[in-house]
């Protein structure tokens, strides 16, 4: 994981297969800094907004094809 603002590596991990960033973050047990909390909250908000947009576009296409 990398801090977006400072581009500093927070933690690394080697494993088989895929591993989600938040799971890696929980398993690393690094100190939870307020700035990191804000970054995580921002990422979650962007993800939710992007998901809403995709769902809206999909519903719009379904109406068009039906």
Extents of the domains making up the chain: 33-65
Token pair in block for residue 50: 């992007």
pLDDT the model gives residue 6: 80
pLDDT the model gives residue 5: 76
> How confident is the model over 15-53, as pLDDT tens digits?
777 777 667 667 766 665 555 566 666 666 766 666 666
pLDDT the model gives residue 17: 73
State phi, psi for 2 to the nearest 5 degrees.
-130, 140
Model confidence at 65, in pLDDT bands (50, 70, 90)? low
Alpha-carbon span 37 to 18, nearest angstrom: 23
Average pLDDT in the chain: 67
In which residue are the tokens 């995709």 written?
54
Does residue 24 contact residue 1 with C-beta atoms inside 8 Å?
A: yes
């Amino acid at each position: 994981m990398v801090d977006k603002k400072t581009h500093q590596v927070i933690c690394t991990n080697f494993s088989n297969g895929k591993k989600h960033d938040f799971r890696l973050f929980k398993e690393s047990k690094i100190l939870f800094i307020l700035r990191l909390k804000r970054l995580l909250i921002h990422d979650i908000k962007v993800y939710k907004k992007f998901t809403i947009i995709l769902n809206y576009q999909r519903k719009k296409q379904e109406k068009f094809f039906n």
